[in-house]
Amino acid sequence: MEIKSMRFKANSEASLANVVLQGNLKNAKGKFVTKRAEAIKELDDFEGTRDAAAAIRNKVIDNLDLWLERFETKAQETGAQVMWAKDGAEVCRLVTEIARKHGVTKVTKSKSMLSEEAGLNQALEAAGIQPVETDLGEYILQVNDNEPPSHIIAPAVHKSLDDVADLFHKVHGTPRKTEIPALTREAREVLRGHFLTAEMGLSGGNFLVAETGSVALVTNEGNGRMVTTMPKVHVVITGIEKVIPTLEDLSTLMRLLPRSATGQSISNYFSILTGVKKPEEHDGPEHLYFVLVDAGRADVVGGEFHEMLRCIRCGACMNHCPVYQTIGGHAYGWVYPGPMGSVLTPLYAGIENAIDLPHAATLCNQCGVVCPVKIPLPELLRKLREKQTDAGLRPLTERIGLRVWAWVAQRPALYGLGASLGARYLKWLAGGNKSIRLLPAAQEWTNGRDFPAPQGQTFREMYAARRKSAAQGDAK
């Protein structure tokens, strides 16, 4: 997918100015948050479960090479083929080759964020193969001229019922429907035909189980089951970091993933798929392929950002992020929005291609406290800021400003003088009012709010004066 993260600031301001989007975001805000809060109460030991989940993910990431080999061996034993892709282009090439080999003309897709990273739909189309997104949210976006998703769990969360009603009326040529169940039924009927005729199903993978060589898929709609049951070929595209050891570990992670994502105790469907259909079976794919994708992940292993590889893609961080709630997902400019995206985008798409993202956070740590695998997201964002500074990627004025400020702050007398002058200047700007409407040096602040007036003297001045008069008082 093309990366537009360098336009974050402009995109975020456009999001704020988009009245329809703001209405949709306001409507969506908090629904996931409330449901999650209820769902985690069902766990007697939520913190202990988080610790266990983080430990499971660490166990694999700390020896990822060996776990990948183990998974590969087990998957091959079950009759699956395992392929490796260094980047998105290789994902596209491998999937297109698999499709050609099996004479595939249509691919039904269950949600895969990695296929978004790779731009797979465009590649398939270019090869004359029809990709059909079957997750309702992804389908809505695909028929809306391949609009990118704005959320990893709820891709069309930025769209309203009205938006979808207009869209389906236009693309399906059916009478405009205004009820959500009717719209859902309409999509079901369109997609059912595709499920039955596609020769290949494509899914992501929530987890790869090393014990059994299986892929685990978490879905609610049943589209994940459809694309892995009906077509004769099933291709799993997933990142190399998704391996977990055992089925017990899978159960632990499943206590957290749906609760953190949508606030469900468990998703409607949870499928563990192992190998291919036996000759006497009625359904299931005859061919199963795993495409294990690097696309930046291998270079995160063992480094200062390795904790990010624990991520299980629940979306809780964005659901709880004040910035995401305010501007939505598109402003982030790539596949992954919100706090996890602000870490992943620089790591996977290049730190120089996403200068704003690590700074696009208040570091409120709401993401950190909800993360089911305890990724210290604010700390990783801060480290990315440090990397940018070290690489000279921040604007020169900012770097010089910080340097000068830090230099002065190490010299108390000079700092005290500067603070006194600053307090008086701001007081003068306020001109007797309680607040300043326009701060020439910080218009970013005063564009959207006033700047309260200072008292006019610094604490150190007043404290010194008070001590002096107290000393004089004592002298008398």
136 vs 198 by CB, closer to other proteins? 136
Q: Minimal distance in Å, beta carbon 407 to other proteins? A: 8
**Do 372 and 261 contact (CB within 8 A), yes or no?**
no
Cα within 13 Å of Cα(314), Cβ side: 30
Q: Which of residues 263-292 bind other proteins (CB under 8 A)?
A: 265-278, 280-284, 292
Alpha-carbon gap, residue 120 to 23, rounded angstroms: 32
Q: Does 58 bind other proteins (CB under 8 A)?
A: no
Q: Does 442 bind other proteins (CB under 8 A)?
A: yes
Could you tell me which stretch among 99-107, 199-207, 216-224, 339-347 binds other proteins (CB under 8 A)?
216-224
Could you tell me which stretch among 39-47, 118-126, 199-207, 336-344 binds other proteins (CB under 8 A)?
39-47
Measured in whole angstroms, the distance separating CA 88 from the mean position of its chain's CA atoms is 18
Q: Which of residues 101-120 bind other proteins (CB under 8 A)?
A: none
Task: Give me the 307-336 binding string for other proteins, x by CB under 8 A, dash otherwise.
Answer: ---------------xx-xxx---------
For residue 32, give the nearest of 319, 266, 312 by alpha carbon: 319
Q: Which of residues 114-153 bind other proteins (CB under 8 A)?
A: 134-137, 140
* φ, ψ at 236 (rounded to 5°): -105, 125
For residue 99, give the nearest of 129, 58, 132, 79 by alpha carbon: 129
173 vs 181 by CB, closer to other proteins? 181
* φ, ψ at 292 (rounded to 5°): -90, 120
Q: Does 169 bind other proteins (CB under 8 A)?
A: no
Alpha-carbon gap, residue 350 to 333, rounded angstroms: 13
Alpha-carbon gap, residue 110 to 108, rounded angstroms: 7
Q: Which of residues 366-425 bind other proteins (CB under 8 A)?
A: 366, 368-369, 382, 384-390, 394, 398-399, 402-403, 405-407, 409-410, 412, 415, 419, 422-423
Q: At which residue do the structure tokens 């805000």 appear?
A: 29
Binding-residue total with other proteins (CB under 8 A): 167
Helix (H) or strand (E) holding 293: strand 287-293
128 vs 435 by CB, closer to other proteins? 435
Task: Give me the 338-357 binding string for other proteins, x by CB under 8 A, dash otherwise.
Answer: ------------------x-
Q: Which of 1, 36, 57, 68 binds other proteins (CB under 8 A)?
A: 68
Alpha-carbon gap, residue 295 to 280, rounded angstroms: 39
